[in-house]
C-alpha cells in the first residue's frame, strides 16, 4: 500500500465547511448528469470550485462525447462525513436524477478514528440508495496517513474495493494516486492536493472509469 500523506498530528480534512455545487437549472438534470458526492478532496479546498477535478471531469466528458449535454453536479462538502452523506444524498438524487454517481467519502471519518464498521455501513447505505434509482455508482478509494497504524489503515482502505465488489460498482482504487506524499502536489497542510494536482486526479479517475460512461 502506498503511504498517504506525511506523518502529522490529528487534523480534520476540510474544516472550512464550504459547500460546493456546480449549480445548473433543474431541467438539465437528465440523461447525462453526473453527481459527485465527496468531501474537501473533491470540493476544491484551497482553490475556487471551478478549478477542482470535478470541473475537469465535465470537460473530459464533453471532449469524449461533444454531442451529449454532460452536466457534472459537484455536491461535495468540505468536512463531510459518510453519515452526513447518508443524510444529504436522497434529496440530491431526487433533485438532480443523476445517471452516474461518484462516491468519494470516508476520509474525515477515518481521520477522526470512527469505527470502520460504521463507515462501511454508511457507504453501503449510499450505494444502495443510488442503485435503487437505477443510477450507476463508482466508489473512489481513499488511504489514511500511516501514523494511524496498519491495524486501522489497512482495513479502512480495503473497504472500498470490498464494497465495489459486493455491489458490483466501478472502482477508482486510490483517488490521490501519484499525488499523496508529493510535497509539490500537496498543500502546506499535507492533506489537500494543490491546483496542479487536479489534472493528475482526473487522470486517475478517468483511467479507471473509461467504460463507466457507456449506456
Confirm whether 18 is domain-assigned: no
Q: Any idea what the CATH number is for the domain that residue 196 is in?
A: 3.40.50.1110
Confirm whether 15 is domain-assigned: no
Confirm whether 55 is domain-assigned: yes
Predicted TM-score of the model (pTM): 0.84
CB 143 within 8 A of CB 176: yes
Confirm whether 194 is domain-assigned: yes
Please give the Cα distance from 158 to 41 (Å, whole number).
19
Walk along the chain (215 residues) and give the pLDDT tens digit of each residue.
444 333 333 333 443 334 444 433 333 345 699 999 999 999 988 888 889 999 999 999 999 888 888 999 999 999 999 999 999 999 999 999 999 999 999 999 999 999 999 999 999 999 999 999 999 999 999 999 888 999 999 999 999 999 999 999 999 999 998 888 788 887 777 778 888 889 989 999 999 998 888 65
Phi, psi of 62 (to 5 degrees): -65, -40
Range of the domain at 138: 26-208
- Which residues are identified as catalytic? 40, 189, 192
Confirm whether 96 is domain-assigned: yes
Confirm whether 3 is domain-assigned: no
Instruction: Tell me whether strands 170-172 and 136-140 are parallel, antiparallel or unpaired.
Output: parallel
User: Who contacts 30 (Cβ-Cβ below 8 Å, separation ≥6)?
Assistant: 69, 97
Confirm whether 117 is domain-assigned: yes
- Count structural domains, the chain: 1
Confirm whether 11 is domain-assigned: no
Amino acid at each position: 500500500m502506498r503511504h498517504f500523506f506525511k506523518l502529522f498530528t490529528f487534523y480534520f480534512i476540510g474544516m472550512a465547511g464550504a459547500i460546493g455545487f456546480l449549480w445548473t437549472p433543474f431541467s438539465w438534470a437528465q440523461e447525462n448528469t453526473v453527481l459527485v458526492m465527496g468531501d474537501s478532496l473533491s470540493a476544491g479546498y484551497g482553490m475556487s470550485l471551478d478549478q477542482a477535478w470535478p470541473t475537469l471531469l465535465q470537460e473530459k466528458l464533453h471532449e469524449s462525447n461533444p454531442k451529449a449535454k454532460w452536466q457534472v453536479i459537484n455536491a461535495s462538502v468540505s468536512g463531510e462525513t459518510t453519515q452526513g452523506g447518508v443524510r444529504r444524498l436522497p434529496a440530491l438524487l431526487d433533485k438532480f436524477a443523476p445517471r452516474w454517481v461518484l462516491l468519494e467519502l470516508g476520509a474525515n471519518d477515518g481521520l477522526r478514528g470512527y469505527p470502520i464498521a460504521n463507515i462501511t455501513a454508511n457507504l453501503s447505505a449510499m450505494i444502495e440508495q443510488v442503485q435503487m434509482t437505477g443510477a450507476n455508482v463508482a466508489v473512489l478509494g481513499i488511504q489514511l496517513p500511516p501514523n494511524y497504524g496498519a491495524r486501522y489503515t489497512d482495513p479502512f482502505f480495503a473497504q472500498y474495493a470490498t464494497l465495489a465488489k459486493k455491489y458490483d460498482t466501478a472502482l477508482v482504487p486510490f483517488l490521490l494516486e501519484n499525488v499523496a506524499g508529493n510535497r509539490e502536489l500537496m498543500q502546506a497542510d499535507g492533506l489537500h492536493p494543490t491546483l496542479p494536482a487536479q489534472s493528475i486526479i482526473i487522470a486517475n479517475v478517468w483511467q479507471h472509469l473509461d467504460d463507466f460512461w457507456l449506456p
